[in-house]
Amino acid sequence: MELKEEQFNRAGNKRGMSLNSQKHLLGVQGIGNPKNNHAKKELSITRKQREMLLLPCPYAPTMTWLEWLAERGMALAGENATYYKELLDRLEGKVTQPIGGDGGEPIKTEIIVSSQTAKNLTQAILNGKGT
């Protein structure tokens, strides 16, 4: 069965014309990405906490939540190694693990190639020559 010209989309093809396409499924509840995502934004705990950071803190009325949390974090870091490590990670960035083999030696890699051409290309790359 051939499609009539009016059954094609604007680009002149059948893409998106299936009854199972996203365009047709958007009306089905739970399928597709609705344009109005306000419900998700309102449920975000992190969003609410960020909004609260500049509000007065009930534990220290002369401070904002931001100031109180920063001061409390510094005090805990002085008492507990776990808090201290967390503070350093936030201030300095996490320490990366060095990559190495046994005893800190360089990792040895073996490259196996199946043809002379591949061997020549691999050797050129290892010698720093462009291909």
Using one digit for the tens of pLDDT, what is the confidence trace for 6-60?
Answer: 566 666 666 655 666 665 555 555 545 555 555 555 678 999 999 999 999 999 9
Q: What's the one-letter identity of residue 56?
A: P
Phi, psi at residue 112, to the nearest 5°? -110, 125
Top mean pLDDT of 14-28, 90-104, 116-130 is at 116-130
- Residue 99 DSSP class: P
Spatial separation of the C-alpha atoms in residues 120 and 112, rounded to whole Å: 12
At residue 125 the predicted structure's pLDDT band, cuts being 50, 70 and 90, is confident
Sign of CA dihedral 27, 28, 29, 33: negative
Q: Could you state, in order of their start, the residue ranges of all structural domains in the chain?
A: 1-35, 42-93
Give percent of the chain with pLDDT exceeding 90: 24
- Contact yes or no for 65/53 (Cβ under 8 A): yes
**Global pTM value:** 0.41
